[in-house]
C-alpha cells in the first residue's frame, strides 16, 4: 500500500523528506506558556475535540456529566521554519491536570519539552516535571521571571525541584523573543546530548 512505501523511505532522500520536530511547552496555570510560544513563533490556537468520558477516566470530578458530550481543549500551536524541509513545531499544553490524555498524544516522539516555572508557586510545575522525567523526555526548566521574582537562582530552583543532575534550568522572560529563543536552544542542545548518551548506551 502506498502508505507503507512512503513510510519506508526514511531520512535517506533529502529532497522528498521533510523533517518535523516537536517541542512541548508545559507548566502550571498562567505561568506564561502562551506568551512564550507567541514570542518565538507565529501562534495560532489548535482545537481538539475530546469526549469528556475519555478525559474523565482518570479523574472522578466528571461524575454526572453526560458521557456523550465533548469538550473543546485549545492548545497553543506555533511553527518555526528553520529551512525548507526542517521545521520546529511548538505545542503549549493545557494547564489543567484533567487533560493528561492530551499530553500522551503530544509527547509521543517529541524532541523535548520546556517546563515553565514561576518561583512564587514552584509546586505548580511538579506534575510536568514528574511527567517528563518518568517518560524520559528531555526537558529544561525555564523560570519565567515575573517582576520581583528574580530572588532565586537557577541552582536553587534545581534543588527545590530535585532535578536530575544535568537537567538545565534557565531564567527567562517569556515575553522576550531572544530569551525564548535561548530557552529553545538550551533544550535542543540538551536533547541532543541525551539522545547521544542513550544511543551509546544501547550500542555499548
* C-alpha distance from residue 150 to each of 120, 124, 146, 175 (Å): 10, 17, 8, 15
**Helix, strand and coil percent figures for the chain, each rounded to 5:** 40, 25, 35
| Residue 93 binds Mg ion (CB under 5 A) | no
In the list another protein, Mg ion, ligand GTP, none, the entry touching 25 (Cβ below 5 to 8 angstroms by class) is none
Using CB under 5 A as the binding rule, the residues of this chain from 10 to 39 that contact Mg ion are 33-34
The footprint of ligand GTP on residues 69-108 (CB under 6 A) is 95
Cβ at position 58, least distance to another protein in Å:
19
Task: Please report which residue ranges of 41-136 form alpha helices under DSSP H.
Answer: 52-56, 100-107, 126-134
Q: Is 146 in the site for ligand GTP (CB under 6 A)?
A: yes
| 101 vs 146 by CB, closer to ligand GTP | 146
Which stretch, 30-38, 79-87, 93-101, 149-157, contacts another protein (CB under 8 A)? 79-87
Compute how many residues bind Mg ion; rule: CB under 5 A: 2
State the binding string over 29-48 for another protein (x if CB under 8 A, else -).
Answer: -----------x---xxxxx
Tell me: does residue 100 bind another protein (CB under 8 A). no
Q: Say what angle helices 100-107 and 126-134 make with each other, to 10 degrees.
A: 40
User: Which residues are within 8 A (CB) of 21 and not within 5 positions of it... i.e. 6 or more apart?
Assistant: 86, 87, 88, 89, 111
Residues that bind Mg ion (CB under 5 A): 33-34
Amino acid at each position: 500500500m502506498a502508505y507503507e512505501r512512503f513510510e519506508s523511505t526514511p531520512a535517506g532522500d533529502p529532497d522528498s523528506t521533510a523533517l518535523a520536530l516537536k517541542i512541548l511547552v508545559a507548566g502550571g496555570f498562567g505561568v506564561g506558556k502562551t506568551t512564550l510560544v507567541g514570542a518565538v513563533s507565529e501562534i495560532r490556537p489548535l482545537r481538539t475535540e475530546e469526549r469528556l468520558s475519555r478525559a474523565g477516566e482518570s479523574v472522578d470530578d466528571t461524575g454526572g456529566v453526560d458521557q456523550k458530550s465533548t469538550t473543546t481543549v485549545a492548545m497553543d500551536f506555533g511553527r518555526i521554519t528553520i529551512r525548507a524541509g526542517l521545521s520546529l513545531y511548538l505545542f503549549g499544553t493545557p494547564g489543567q491536570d484533567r487533560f493528561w490524555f492530551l499530553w500522551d498524544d503530544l509527547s509521543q516522539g517529541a524532541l523535548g519539552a520546556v517546563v515553565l516555572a514561576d518561583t512564587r508557586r514552584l509546586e505548580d510545575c511538579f506534575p510536568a516535571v514528574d511527567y517528563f522525567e518518568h517518560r524520559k523526555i528531555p526537558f529544561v526548566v525555564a523560570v519565567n521571571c515575573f517582576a520581583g521574582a528574580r530572588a532565586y537562582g537557577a541552582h536553587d530552583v534545581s534543588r527545590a525541584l530535585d532535578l536530575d543532575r544535568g537537567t538545565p534550568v534557565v531564567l527567562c522572560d517569556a515575553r522576550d523573543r531572544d530569551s525564548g529563543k535561548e530557552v529553545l536552544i538550551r533544550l535542543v542542545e540538551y536533547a541532543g546530548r541525551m539522545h547521544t548518551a542513550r544511543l551509546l548506551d544501547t550500542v555499548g
